[in-house]
Amino acid sequence: MNRAAIYHRPMSEYCHGLDEKHIVYRLRCAKGDLERVTLSYGDTACRVTPIIFTTLEMELAASDEHHDYWEVCVESEYNRVYYYFTLYGRDGEWTYYYGGELTNALVDERSEYFKLPYNHRADIAAVPDWARDALVYNIFPDSFASAKGFIPGSGLELDYCGEASRSRLGGTLDGVAANAGYIRELGFNCVYLNPIFAAGEYHKYDTLDYMHADPCFGGDAAFRRMVDALHREGLRVIIDGVFNHCGWRFWAFEDVVRNQEKSKYRDWFYGLEFPVERPADPEAYPTYATYAYERMMPKLNTANPQVRDYLCGVGRYWIEEFGVDGWRLDVASEVDDGFWRAFRAACKAAKPDALLIGEVWETARHWLEGDMFDSTMNYDFRRHCLRFFARGELDAAGFAARCCGMLMRYKKQMAGVQLNLLDSHDVPRFLTLCGGDRRRYKLAALFMFGFVGMPMLFYGDELGLSGLKELDYRAPMPWGGGDSELLGFIKRAARLRNEHAALRRGDFRVSHARGGLMVYERRLGAERVTIALNASDKAEALPDIAGKPLWADGLCEGSLSPWGFAVCE
């Protein structure tokens, strides 16, 4: 038994409440090292000594490259728990594990065991229930549609309170509204829009005014019409909150440039060095902190109580005034924790089931304890899919290991609402990185629709949009054209997910991963859906898969052809 690999931590992703009656327990060990693990738990206030323990078998829930993860979800009346594990090695060795120690003896002193002090409702990481069923369609407003023929045209430059506001392709919020039915027909039930605030550049990440929609997009009236149109189609609305930084023409920064050290807003910004000047040279390093040395985006000091209160008011305003259903939060990992806790409290007070999604490109455990975000953008999902489906750098075993590792690093409820994506406005189109091979793209998309978390599709992916550079992957939506066969595939994948609760809410188990063939199961109660994917250039023999085929391509006499798939129930 490899004792050095055994790990558990109370009050973490290894022990957490799903609700007041259900607690998840996990244990990590070396891969292939244990053949059986049990959990024994009891009431911390048990009136007899030794404590009366109840013992349950744990299940091997996941394996990454180096570890196995054992898991059990306990339904119990106890909300304050002492517990320990019993580990049985494949080599015949066994041990108890509690209090961070491995031992062959139990003790009467209850305080030596692992402890969950209280599964308090206020501390349980609660996520909006609707998010578990969400299929998210991501729209870059400038590129999607205009009200005139629903086709983006030429850009605009409009005056906004004395400052220039620009667009590139002329997409509008009325254009989004006009296509609400199209999005719903695709099978999606949630729309995430990149920034709509009044801003200078076409991308709208350089905010001029947080309280109004951009005039190039149609302003506040158009935003209200769009939200109403989307809601009528049963589509929830997520908007982009750019609170790490603002635009260099934002009114508070204007005051700093005008009044320098005397500005009452000098403490609204990070790292000011006087005199504060806006450099004309785009390669110059400004005398103020910015986002990624981008001179037009000064960094806000979100720890300042005035800034915090102002931006929390922004969060409430768009929920209360326009009825938006949540926020995607830009550059979330560079903003202080205290601000996000305050922002969460403000938004949840306005709408308890508002969804908060942080833009975190790295492992996001720190932000997903339940006091900041409900979800994060899962760029790790994209990275693993690139290496398996697009580039062939991983085999099925390596890909499965990384996917299982993603699930085990977060609390179970948080893993269930991660925003899984293949591409976005910040990265090249996935189809392009597949070398234009639609077989590879379709397998990756099917996996996304069948994996744990919220699938997110970037506008136009369903029609075969491609692009390696920024202006290309933010290209106009190809209305009236594009790849109709790929469109049909995405519709069917979305319908499959919508029709099977197991694909939205079920557990994930890999049953086979070898060569290019990966077979996994989603299960919820009595419902089982099995998906087999062959991401290779050779036919792969399938293991026995129970159930009837729901959808298949390349399934023939117990094998899958190259880049084929099978979905069975």
SS (H, E, C) 20-85: CCEEEEEEEEECCCEEEEEEEEEECCCCCCCCCCEEEECEEEEECCCEEEEEEEEECCCCCEEEEE
Each residue's pLDDT tens digit, 379-402: 999 999 999 999 999 999 999 999
Per-residue pLDDT band at 544 (split at 50, 70, 90): confident
13, 43, 214, 359: which is the annotated catalytic residue?
359
> d(Cα 247, Cα 200) in Å, to the nearest integer?
7
Q: What is the mean pLDDT of the segment spanning 413-420?
A: 98
The CA–CA distances, whole Å, from 179 to 143, 144, 235, 339, 481 equal: 13, 9, 12, 35, 15
* Residue listed under structure tokens 């970037």: 458
Q: What is the CATH number of domain 3-116?
A: 2.60.40.10
Cβ count within 10 A of residue 110: 16
Q: Do 504-568 and 3-116 have the same topology in CATH?
A: yes
pLDDT above 70: percentage of residues in the chain: 99
String of DSSP letters for 221-279: HHHHHHHHHHHHTT-EEEEEE--SB--TTSHHHHHHHHHGGG-TTGGGBSS--SSP---
In the structure encoding, which two tokens stand for residue 216, read together?
A: 């190039």
What percent helix, strand, coil does the chain show, rounded to 5?
Answer: 30, 30, 40
Q: What is the pLDDT of residue 469?
A: 97
Each residue's pLDDT tens digit, 38-86: 999 999 999 999 999 999 999 999 999 999 999 999 998 899 999 999 9
Higher pLDDT, 520 or 150: 520
526 pLDDT more than 90: yes
Q: What is the DSSP letter of 182?
A: H
3-state SS class at 297: coil
Residue 267 designated active-site: no
Each residue's pLDDT tens digit, 78-107: 999 999 999 999 999 999 999 999 999 999
Each residue's pLDDT tens digit, 427-448: 999 999 999 999 999 999 999 9
Query: Cis bond leading into 286, ω under 30°?
Result: no
This model's pTM is above 0.85: yes
4 pLDDT more than 80: yes
- For domain 245-301, give the fold: Oligo-1,6-glucosidase; domain 2 (3.90.400)
330, 374, 380, 540: which is the annotated catalytic residue?
330
Q: Is 558 left (phi over 0), alpha (psi -120 to 50) or beta?
A: left
SS (H, E, C) 381-408: HHHHHHHHHHCCCCCHHHHHHHHHHHHH
In the structure encoding, which two tokens stand for residue 485, read together?
A: 């066969």
Look up residue 441 and give its amino acid: Y
Cα dihedral 325→329→330→332 (10° resolution): -170
Q: What is the mean pLDDT of the chain?
A: 96
Residue 101 designated active-site: no
Q: What is the pLDDT of residue 151?
A: 64
pLDDT above 90: percentage of residues in the chain: 95
**Overall residue count recorded for the chain in this entry:** 569
Tell whether domain 504-568 is in CATH 2.60.40.1180.
Answer: yes
Each residue's pLDDT tens digit, 121-146: 999 999 999 999 999 999 999 999 99
Each residue's pLDDT tens digit, 472-511: 999 999 998 999 999 999 999 999 999 999 999 999 999 9
> d(Cα 389, Cα 430) in Å, to the nearest integer?
10
Per-residue pLDDT band at 150 (split at 50, 70, 90): low
Each residue's pLDDT tens digit, 285-314: 999 999 999 999 999 999 999 999 999 999
> d(Cα 286, Cα 273) in Å, to the nearest integer?
9
Q: What is the pLDDT of residue 149?
A: 58
Q: Is 96 left (phi over 0), alpha (psi -120 to 50) or beta?
A: beta
147 pLDDT more than 80: no
Q: Which of 228-232, 275-279, 299-303, 543-547 has the lowest mean pLDDT?
A: 543-547
Q: What is the pLDDT of residue 175?
A: 95
* Residue listed under structure tokens 């999607």: 144
Each residue's pLDDT tens digit, 556-565: 988 999 999 9
Each residue's pLDDT tens digit, 191-212: 999 999 999 999 999 999 999 9
Per-residue pLDDT band at 546 (split at 50, 70, 90): confident
Q: What is the pLDDT of residue 547?
A: 81
Q: Where are the domains of the chain?
A: 3-116, 134-244+303-499, 245-301, 504-568
Domain range 134-244+303-499, CATH architecture:
Alpha-Beta Barrel (3.20)
